[in-house]
Each structure stands twice: as C-alpha cells, then as structure tokens.
Amino acid sequence: MTDVTMDKIVSLCRRRGFVFPSSEIYGGIGSTFDYGHYGVLMKNNIRNEWLRAMVQERDDIVVLDSAVIQNPAVWVASGHVVNFSDPLVDCRTCKLRFRADKLEDSQCGRRPSVHPGEFRECDLTEARQFNLMFQTQVGAMEDAASTAYLRPETAQGIFINFKNVAQLARRKPPFGIAQTGKSFRNEITPGNFLFRVREFEQMEMEFFVPPADAPRWYEYWIEQRLAWHVGLGLRSENLRVREHGVEERSHYSSATSDIEFRYPIGWQELEGVANRGDFDLSQHTEHSGTKLEWIEQDGTRYVPYVIEPAVSIERIFVAMLCDAYHEEVVAERDRTVLRLHPAIAPVKAAILPLIPRSGDMVTRSRALLDDLRARWFVEYDDGGQIGRRYRRQDEIGTPWAFTIDEQTLEDETVTVRDRDSLAQERLPLSGVAAWLEDALRRPWAPPAP
Ligand code: GAP
C-alpha cells in the first residue's frame, strides 16, 4: 500500500459510484455519505461474510435485530448518559471545535497568520464533556419525558434481550448473540472519509461465558477476528493488535484490544475486542429489576461475563479499499485495479461481447448473463473498446471477465481473464457457471504488491 492516499480512495469511490457525499445538491452535510450501486453490493458482502463466520458456520451464536430507539432508561443503566462523552474545546482563534484528546490530529494552532511562515496561536477554552448521543423526541409531546436517544452502539439491544434469547431458549454459556445495524454518534470531529462518521453500521457480537473462562475467550476472539480480516484479503503486515492501557478503556471494559489497520492516515482502530465483564447485565438487572443471569440445572446462578468483538462496516470498507488499491502500468497504459477478495468484490464477473454489433455474440453473452445472474451479481458490459471495458472492471474490482468472441461462435468456448495475473485461458461456454463457482471457492490471497 505504498502510495495510497485517502484522496485517491475517495476519488475512485465517487468516480465509480461506490460512495457519494450526502445531500450534495444542497451543499452536503459534513462527513455524511450515501452509497451507490457498487458500495451497497460491497457492504452487503462484508455483512454477509461477517454473518457467515459469526452465525452460519457456528452452532453457538444466534442473531438479533433490536430497535434503534429504545427506552431511555437503557442508556442510563448502560452508563452512556453519564460516561459516553468526549472532551470538547473551542478555539477562540480558529472559531472551531476540537476533541481535547486529539488536538495533535487537528489543524488547531497551525493556521497561517497574515505574516508568511508564521502561525496563529490557538486560544483554547477549558475542556468540557460533550455527550455523543443524538437526542430525539418520541411522540407528539416535546418535553423532557419524551426525550430518547438514537443508539450509539448495537450492544445494548443485545443485553436487554438476554432474557428472551438466553433464559427462555435455555442457551447455556458459552454462547453469543450477534447483531448488525445502524449506530449513531454525534462525533465532534468526524472525518477521513468513512473512517469516522456520525451514522455507521456496526457489527457486534456479545459472547456470554462463565466468569472464570472470560480471559480465555477474550484471547480466542482476538485471534478469530484477526484471522477473519486476513482471510478476506487484508495483508497481515497492515494489521496489528494493540492492548488498551487502563486509562484508555471504556467505562464498561475490564480489558480491550484494538485490531488496528495501517490506514493512509496511520495505524488506527479497525475493530475492538473487549471483556465487558458482568457490567452490562448487572447494570440492567439493577435498573430494570429483571434478573439477567444464568441458572444451572442444579440451581446455581451466576451473571455471565461478556466478550465483545465490535466493528463497523465503514472501517472494514475503507481498510479493504486501501489494501486492494493498486496502480500500475501494463503494456504502456496506466491501470488502476482494486484487488479485492472475490467474496468482497461487488461484481463477481463481467460478460463482454467482443463485438457488440454482432447479433450472435450478443445472444450468447445475454444467455450467459441470465445463467450467471441467477446466483451472483455479474455485469454485462458492451460499452467501448475491450481494453477500456477491462480497465473499468479492474477499477471496481471484478475478479474475472468472460469474453465472447469469433471463436465462441465456432467452438462454443470463451476467454476468461484474471484481474490479478491478467492471465487468459479458454473454457467451454457451458462450463462457465461451474468454473466460476469453483473459482469463488478457491482460497485467495492478495498478490505481492
Ligand atoms: N459496543 C462497543 C463499541 O461500540 P467502540 O470502540 O466505540 O465500541 C466499536 O466501537 C467499533 O465501531 C469500532 O472499532 C469501529 O470499527 C466502529 N466505530 C466506532 N465509531 C465509529 C465512527 N464514528 N465511524 C465509523 N465507525 C465507528
């Protein structure tokens, strides 16, 4: 990832219809984005791969879909009303607001003055705590009693359903509940494209374990999640695990490790794995009066500890794009290619009639398209020179392109071109679906940069 910048990623996303600035025709709304066709497909693939690893391929985790707006008492019990805040300072010189703990990342104090080469002194107010939860009103009455919050994490929806899922269905720890869905945070300084946004899709799993087993499961989930990212194409050298110091931990955590990725802006948190202990279940028991605990057959009771891997699709999306982005010169022409893992690539294959005016080529191409699209997102592309079509597919990360040409009309074979190696081979038209199925099952690792 030598010369990948966030600007290049933003520009490709926009050019190729992955991601657009939101509300653009009204001047935008800072750090808020809308996803176009390829962005939606790629997000779906990330979510599906997470659900596959967390739920589909295991028998100890189930899924949940809880509400975004919950009883405000949830956020009092969880500690978010009091503790979910960042220190905020205003700069009287720049007239901007910053996170006091991230001042070194900001431009504050580095604004040029009217004298060349000089910088204006920043003049900061005292830091005060700013709660990151978005407030809203529920119902027609606008009074304090109707104030509610947009959830800042999906996790609490899981804890308040512990009784429904665990106790009633008698799921014995260790077991987990997984959830994907939107979370909202009124970040003081959102930015760096999708890295820090105010509206994002979290994928969280709360794994309930007997207290004595918590350290072992904590290590287990760090390893599992690291392996998941590598398995989906992130290069090991761009990933590392960093354990939080005591002062850095969230109010609910007794141990946290970040899986960090080397983004173009430096090493940053991609995913967090936390040991939340019995904090949440105990808090909700105390505040709701409903006992959230596990009762063994012999009547012994305990409050399970919770190990939580938590990540947003946005952070994975950016990491995968940065890791996959590659510029090179092939046959004296520039090529930009997204070497995405085939499972993550928005489009699995392109179908290209070499001569779009040829009725026979179009008929065969369309038949192949109908065959493949029953199972995968594939794309029919007949616009422009074949080389340009290859380049377009390279830029959106399509792993394979099938070209229907004169030879197809003679012997019913097609050319398949590999995005990464650029190798081409011929295979029978009738065998394309089976070939693609097999190719998508093969292990894939990123080519050497
Ligand atoms: N339930 C625990 C929790 O929410 P967190 O570290 O605040 O912990 C978990 O968030 C993950 O959510 C982060 O590792 C990151 O992937 C993602 N995330 C948090 N804030 C985000 C933001 N403003 N924009 C994009 N992703 C964010």
- Decide: 410 and 428 in contact? Cβ < 8 Å: no
Given phi > 0 = left and psi -120 to 50 = alpha, else beta, which region is 141? beta
| Residues 396-422 pLDDT 10s | 999 999 999 999 999 999 999 999 999
Distance linking the first and last C-alpha atoms of the chain: 7
Residue 211, token pair as written in the block = 């207290």
| Residues 136-170 pLDDT 10s | 999 888 777 889 999 999 999 999 999 999 876 77
Maximum C-alpha span of the chain? 79
Phi, psi of 433 (to 5 degrees): -60, -45
Distance 3 CA to ligand 1 centre (A): 27
Q: Which amino acid is at 2?
A: T
Q: Whose CA is nearest to atom 2 of ligand 1?
A: 310
CA-based nearest residue to 350, from 439, 430, 419, 447: 419
Distance 312 CA to ligand 1 centre (A): 6
pLDDT for 3 equals 86
pLDDT for 1 equals 44
Is the distance from the beta carbon of residue 281 to the nearest atom of ligand 1 less than 6 Å?
Answer: no
Distance CA 375, CA 269 (A): 35
- Decide: 194 and 285 in contact? Cβ < 8 Å: no
pLDDT for 112 equals 53
Is the distance from the beta carbon of residue 276 to the nearest atom of ligand 1 less than 6 Å?
Answer: no
Distance 271 CA to ligand 1 centre (A): 7
Q: Which of 201, 312, 316, 320 to mutate to test the pocket of ligand 1 (most atoms within 8 A of CB)?
A: 312
pLDDT for 116 equals 59
Cα torsion at 166, 169, 174, 177 (round to 10°)?
Answer: -60
Q: Whose CA is nearest to atom 6 of ligand 1?
A: 272
pLDDT for 223 equals 98
Q: Which of 193, 202, 254 to mutate to test the pocket of ligand 1 (most atoms within 8 A of CB)?
A: 202
| Residues 19-39 pLDDT 10s | 999 999 999 998 999 999 999
Give mean pLDDT in consecutive 10-residue pieces for the chain, a chain of 449 residues.
86 97 94 97 98 97 97 97 90 81 68 59 85 93 86 98 84 95 96 97 98 97 98 98 92 92 98 97 98 93 97 98 96 94 98 96 98 98 96 98 98 98 98 98 91
Whether the predicted model's global pTM rises above the 0.85 cut: yes
DSSP letter, residue 105: G
Is the distance from the beta carbon of residue 225 to the nearest atom of ligand 1 less than 6 Å?
Answer: no
Q: Which amino acid is at 53?
A: A
Is the distance from the beta carbon of residue 187 to the nearest atom of ligand 1 less than 6 Å?
Answer: yes
